[in-house]
Amino acid sequence: MSQQGASRAFSRIKGFADLFPPESEAFSRMESCGRDIFSRYGFAELRTPLLEFTGLFQRSIGAETDVVQKEMYTFADRKGRSVTLRPEATAGVMRACIESGLADARSGAHRFFTMGPMFRYERPQKGRMRQFHQINCECLGTESPFADAELIAMLWRFLQALGIADLTLKLNSLGCAACRPAYMAALRDYLTRLDADALCEDCRRRVQSNPLRVLDCKQPGCRALTEGAPRLLDHNCPDCRRHFDTVLELLARENITPDIDHRLVRGLDYYCRTTFEVVSGRIGAQTAVAGGGRYDGLTAQLGGPDAPGVGFACGMERLALLLPARAPVAPDFFIVAPDETARAQAFALAEALRGLGLGGELEYGGGSFKSLMRKAAKSGARFCCIIGPDESAAGRVSIRSMQSGEQVTLPQADAPARLAALVAASPTTPNHNG
Ligand code: HAM
């Protein structure tokens, strides 16, 4: 019988993860840090659907790319239309902007961030999932190199705010519709003169279908063979060169000094001019934590007005691998109340405490006083509220500091305000039991 048989519990689909704490908390931390920083640059949130018509991705990402050829979750809906779970966010954001009239040149620049799951049927490994999460930013409606530089500076500030160190920013320019065809001809000419048998199977195919990708092949043999390949920057037209130099200059003013990487071509077809990646040597084979670039012409390619744009996406699973660990915050209280009457009083006390902004739990079960106190200690709470049989009968509660062991007994009605004052007066300690 299959995995879904009656007697077997269900399991996750390969490449899809459940995110428990602390990973889920690391994800929330990245999201709120992103919201804070991106809003300072004028970015607002856009949530687009996870499912789009397949043609959108074929037309934007490119029919010859690995993503479209091998990695999309594509299926027919109930009316037989081909739909795809989004493998990235840019295409959907462009579709949404075109559909709502924001890609019109007269409407100025629009800045959106998108956070959420993406789907690519890749071979899962450390830092590579089939459902993964991106934090994605797009600035649409301007071809100014200031937008490229500002976006990269924003990404850099975001990564620094997360406390992620030892990252390298790689930069290149893919040229534009005016200068890229001559470059492509020179590259193809160079590649076809190479000993084809010395190239890997993928690259042999790419020489014709997608020659740029031969440059970023990771196989040592292919890399050695393409060492002398023509370089994009040497073929940039004066406008592209000026654009690139301005981006570099603006970044240098902010002490951001990228490595120029002549092999950086990106795996999606919509890029032109500025392309960049942020890589880390600390997360295994999948080194890219963020990637992006300019995509002038994409909206026109999707049937909308011609609106230039630039953007990036970070991979949250990969950022999570690099995020400095943070001890969970200790709960303020833990309430023990061994018998039923006391527990109803404890329930009311817990609600009153939460109403004052404190956080903690109430133990529902009974047991010996000793075992309940062990649970209180295990919870890592800063204060334990004890409603034993005597306290319960007298309408009182004992509040014990778990750090100093000091204890006060007082009427239950006075406890919320007193505990709030105690919490405010005592320094917060990380929860080492978490
Ligand atoms: P991308 O380079 O395909 O670009 O993906 C961006 C980031 O998503 C990667 O650097 C990586 O951190 C993460 N990522 C990609 N695939 C996986 C995976 N299977 N598992 C875990 N993480 C992954 C884009 O998606 C473009 N849409 C970026 C962009 C936005 N360009 C302009 N605007």
Least Cα distance to 318 among 355, 284, 353 occurs for 284
Every domain of the chain with CATH number 3.40.50.800 lies at 333-425
Determine the distance separating the centroid of ligand 1 and the alpha carbon of 376, expressed in angstroms: 44
Per-residue burial over 152-171, b if 16 or more Cβ lie within 10 Å, else e, is bbbbbbbbeebebeebebbb
For the sheet containing 383-386, what is the strand order? 360-362, 333-336, 383-386, 396-401, 407-411
Rounded CA-CA distance 325/358 in Å is 24
pLDDT tens string 246-278: 999 999 999 999 999 999 999 999 999 999 999
Which of 71, 164, 314, 318 to mutate for ligand 1's pocket (most ligand atoms within 8 Å of CB)? 318
Every domain of the chain with CATH number 3.30.930.10 lies at 23-179+236-322
Determine the distance separating the centroid of ligand 1 and the alpha carbon of 365, expressed in angstroms: 47
Which of 30, 268, 271, 275 to mutate for ligand 1's pocket (most ligand atoms within 8 Å of CB)? 268
Determine the distance separating the centroid of ligand 1 and the alpha carbon of 138, expressed in angstroms: 13
Which ligand 1 atom is at minimum distance from the Cα of 67?
A: 3
Q: Whose CA is nearest to atom 30 of ligand 1?
A: 312
Which ligand 1 atom is at minimum distance from the Cα of 295?
A: 32
- Provide the sign of the torsion angle of the four alpha carbons 363, 366, 371, 373, taken in this order: positive
Residues with a CB atom less than 6 Å from ligand 1:
88-90, 120, 122, 127-129, 132, 134, 136, 138, 267-268, 288-293, 295, 311-313, 315, 317-318
Rounded CA-CA distance 119/14 in Å is 12
* Tokens 């009311």 -> residue: 348
pLDDT computed for residue 163 by the predictor: 96
Let me know: does 313 contact 86? Beta carbons within 8 Å: no
Let me know: does 240 contact 179? Beta carbons within 8 Å: yes
For domain 23-179+236-322, the question of CATH label 3.30.1310.10 is answered with: no
pLDDT computed for residue 433 by the predictor: 55
Q: What is the pLDDT along the chain (434 residues), one digit of tens a residue?
A: 445 556 889 999 999 999 999 999 999 999 999 999 999 999 999 999 999 999 999 999 999 899 999 999 999 999 999 999 999 999 999 999 999 999 987 888 999 999 999 999 999 999 999 999 999 999 999 999 999 999 999 999 999 999 999 999 999 999 999 999 999 999 999 999 988 888 899 898 888 888 999 998 989 999 999 999 999 999 999 999 999 999 999 999 999 999 999 999 999 999 999 999 999 999 988 899 999 999 999 999 999 999 999 999 999 999 999 999 888 889 999 999 998 889 999 999 999 999 999 999 999 988 888 999 999 999 999 999 999 999 999 999 999 999 999 999 999 999 999 999 999 998 776 665 54
Which of 70, 88, 123 to mutate for ligand 1's pocket (most ligand atoms within 8 Å of CB)? 88
Q: Whose CA is nearest to atom 17 of ligand 1?
A: 128
Determine the distance separating the centroid of ligand 1 and the alpha carbon of 207, expressed in angstroms: 24
Question: pTM score, two decimals?
Answer: 0.93
Residue 117, H or E segment = strand 110-119
Which of 16, 72, 111, 118 to mutate for ligand 1's pocket (most ligand atoms within 8 Å of CB)? 118
Determine the distance separating the centroid of ligand 1 and the alpha carbon of 36, expressed in angstroms: 21
How many CA atoms, within 13 angstroms, populate the side-chain half-sphere of residue 255? 1
Superfamily of domain 333-425: Anticodon-binding domain (3.40.50.800)
pLDDT computed for residue 218 by the predictor: 87
